[in-house]
Structure 1
Amino acid sequence: MRGIAMTTGFGLAVEVGDWTRFTGSSIGSYLGLVPSEHSSRLECAQGAIT
């Protein structure tokens, strides 16, 4: 995996196991890598990864 250390990549591979059960949009939420969001009726702002 580009951009992460070998230990982190190995941990992700072990945690996920079968990569075919996820799509590009669902893997991030499974791993908890989703942006925070503060929204109101008039505006929406996304923050850092939670």
Structure 2
Amino acid sequence: MIILSALSRFQVSYEFTLIKLYINLSYRLWILNLKKMKNITCIILENLF
């Protein structure tokens, strides 16, 4: 029983780490996309005027 509870606790922490990694990655990608969008918008504006 002790081994099982330790395993389940490890499983939970493992899943939590995966979720944190996923959130971190998606946040970074979102910021990168924002920067790209800003650059594209600047280029479009420069071409318009």
Does the TM-score normalized on the shorter chain lie above 0.5?
Answer: no
User: Relative contact order (C-alpha < 8 Å, sep 6+): which is higher?
Assistant: 1
Q: Report the TM-score, using the length of structure 2 for normalisation.
A: 0.27
Q: Report the TM-score, using the length of structure 1 for normalisation.
A: 0.26
Whose strand proportion is higher, 1 or 2? 1
Q: Which has the larger radius of gyration?
A: 2
Whose helix proportion is higher, 1 or 2? 2
